[in-house]
Chain A
Amino acid sequence: MSERTPLDQRAPGPMESPEPASPALGSEIGLEAGERPPGFLDGRVSRRTVLQAGVVAVPCLAGAGLVFTALDRFVNGDPAGAEPVAARYDASGHRWGFVVDTDSCVGCGMCVVACKAENGVPEDPEYSRTWVERHITTADGTVRVDSPEGGIDGFEPGDPPTMVDGSPVVDARFVPRLCMQCENSPCTAVCPVGATYRTPDGVILIDEERCIGCGYCVVACPYGARYIVPAAEDTPRGVPGVADKCTFCYHRITAGLPPACVEACPVGARRYGDLDDPTSPVSVVMAEQPTTVLKEELGTKPRVHYVGLEAEVVS
């Protein structure tokens, strides 16, 4: 290793000032008059050391950045993880509601098809954001429910049966199902990390970047509206292992578009709108016709209302 030249014997470098340091300043830091204070890079720190420090510092800083990004995502949430929202949308100005007219529904299953296509829901009927049930009520009070393939292929057209198991049919109707967007929602209450939450306009969303996939909300939902997204090839947009459910197509309604199922329904059996707006389709229907909600006794206060459901939906 070569011996280093004393500072006072070296010629000033191109970046060094030939002027001596101020005597007053030098005396304050213990230097003789005319002696220069040592600079950071004037021979005491080698280039190799700087490079080594750089090699260590760059990954450290990158790692710290990643950690802070991750923490920030968990603390403040990640907009990318939630449902995309239109830029100028004011959530506090709405109270979204939904009305399903079971008198009109023909069980064609177009809503299920549209929902799966719009939201990247798996093909498997076990995983559905919305589905269509057929309820057949007989004279003895029994309600028989079926929903082959979740109703995605539609029910066979024609008149409903007049007799089932020897008992005359008194009522038969199709009952589309979806998340009830409850005002008193058990799913949001039980989530241990706040991944499922209610927006100011009353829609319950899931932050897929925060969900841990514990399934607590799936078990807690009284309406069977949730599922854990499987890691399957037919899950084009869903993040595997997190909870999923109907969001009223939040990315569409915040952009002024109707939910995909509402748009696809050929008979207008599904309607959505602002419950605070008396001219909205849901407000109009609710003003004109009596509506019910599913499992009212649970006190969940669903925002999905049903027209024509006289018999209690047991499913």
Chain B
Amino acid sequence: MTVRLGGRAFVLDPRAAYGTVRGEIESMSRALQAWLCLLLVLMALGAVGAIFTIAPGTEVFGTTPSFEWGILISAYVLFAITTSGLCLGASLGTVFGIELFRPLEKRHAILAVLTLTTAFGIIALDLHYPVRMVFGAVFNPSLASPMWWMGAFYAGYLVFLIVEVWSMFTGHDRIHQWACTAAAGMAIIAPTTLGAVFGVLFARSYWFGPFTPVTMLVTAQLAGSALLGIVFFLVVRFQRTGFERGRRLAIPAIRILLAVGLVASTVLLGRQLVDGLTTADEAFYDATMVLISGPYAVPFWIRVIAGLAVPLVLIALPVTRTTLGTGVAACLAFGGVVMDRLLFVNVGQVVPGSTVGGVVSDPYVPYTPSLVEISIVIGAFALVAFVYTLVERYADLREADAHLGFHLPEFIASVRARITAGRTVGDADGAHEGNVGIGS
């Protein structure tokens, strides 16, 4: 069968397509086949869960008016901050030209697009009227709402990321540089605004306050760095070709990024605990106690020990400063962030600030995620892993050579040259004509 579109003939031959796909599958190793099969099954599970959410108002989630935001919101927050964190770390290479971080360039961009689109997909399933959101946000924006700004920034971020990926693979170096710079800016603004979505809610003491956006940004950096760490560990482990330079640079770079994220997260967590234990706000105190010794104590302490302390030790100890050590630290740190975002969303609602619609929750608001919610979250993780596996197999992820625009080392050199030139001019009474520019 042949279809003509725009003067071109497209042959639709199921046999040929089947043969191609079959050939590809047969060329894969057994382990890869099993991995992709597993992911396909999990994605199918997520798709089935997603179908249940289509009709507006159907009660397929475990949420209630007393506990309105469930694990889909947690998953959205996780993917949204991860996409930002990927760009935050990698921007040191792409934007500032620091050589150490250059190998992160292509993989971070691919992962960022994947995690962001997945985040959008999850929030679309959580909303009862996602199409209205698009129309409403464009034609009836509410500029006082942090949620509107968050959507706008993440939408802009997605555009810049797509341009970044396109220019990266098509060799448009100058456009790539500007897209990277713009995306890095958005990667700072967007998660901060996401933090503000929670931080402005004075009805929720645990979320309310200026530190929530800051914490969200720092957690984003940690999440992105940890995901890069996992990916690069696997890339090195499976010895992907053309990655010698990356192995020498990427793993140390990720170690630095992880260390920064872990230390900053620990400091902010400490501040939050001290604040929560000494506050006069009863609801905030109760929420803090829920974490320390209440119903969420076990996951909280697992997160603190396995998600913060152990990775920090692995990064810090000279004996574990290896690829394996970094990989394990990254896995633990990412697991810690997953746990942290679950705790963040849940603890903000578990302490009743009020009776809701005649329901008195005492002492805590109950919430158990439904199978539909769990399947969607699992499917989302599987989707990212599946698509990325295919990208890793078929796309050219070798480090790009060209780098234009704003390079920090060159910028510093140019400033030094200007200072030197100025002195020379002063000494020689204006005889010198300098032509040193940024990125020249």
Contacts and interface: CB of A to CB of B under 8 A. Distances in A.
B435 to A, nearest CB: 50
B56 A213 contact: yes
Contact of B59 (A149, A213, A214, A230): A230
Contact of A133 (B128, B135, B151, B355): B355
Interface string A153-194: 000000000000000000000000100000000100111111
B142 A191 contact: yes
Given A151-B358, A222-B353, A193 B142 contact: yes
Interface residues of A, number: 57
- The DSSP consensus for interface residues of chain B is loop
B65 A74 contact: no
Interface in B101-151: 126-130, 132-133, 135-137, 139-142, 144-148, 151
Contact of A218 (B56, B68, B140, B197): B68
Given A133-B360, A213-B128, A240-B128, A127 B59 contact: no
A74 B135 contact: yes
B137 A192 contact: yes
A7 interface: no
B135 A195 contact: no
Contacts of A152: 358
Nearest to A231: B57
B355 A210 contact: no
A126 B357 contact: yes
A213 B201 contact: no
Given A71-B135, A224-B65, A186 B203 contact: yes
B80 to A, nearest CB: 14
A218 B147 CA distance: 14
Interface in A117-139: 125-128, 131-133
Nearest to A245: B357
A128 B129 contact: no
A283 B128 CA distance: 41
Nearest to A77: B140
B200 A177 contact: no
A147 B361 CA distance: 10
B147 A216 contact: yes
A273 interface: no
A241 interface: yes
A70 interface: yes
A214 B136 contact: no
B419 to A, nearest CB: 49
A227 B63 CA distance: 11
Given A74-B135, A186-B203, A210-B132, A228 B65 contact: yes
Nearest to B63: A215
A229 interface: yes
B17 interface: no
B394 to A, nearest CB: 37
A147 B358 contact: yes
Interface of A: 70-71, 74-75, 112, 125-128, 131-133, 145-147, 149-152, 177, 186, 189-195, 210-216, 218-232, 235, 239-242, 298, 315
22 contacts: A112-B358, A126-B356, A131-B355, A131-B357, A145-B362, A147-B358, A186-B201, A186-B203, A192-B145, A193-B136, A193-B140, A211-B129, A212-B127, A212-B133, A213-B127, A222-B203, A224-B355, A230-B58, A230-B59, A231-B59, A232-B59, A242-B129
Interface of B: 55-59, 63-66, 68-69, 126-130, 132-133, 135-137, 139-142, 144-148, 151, 197, 200-204, 349, 352-360, 362
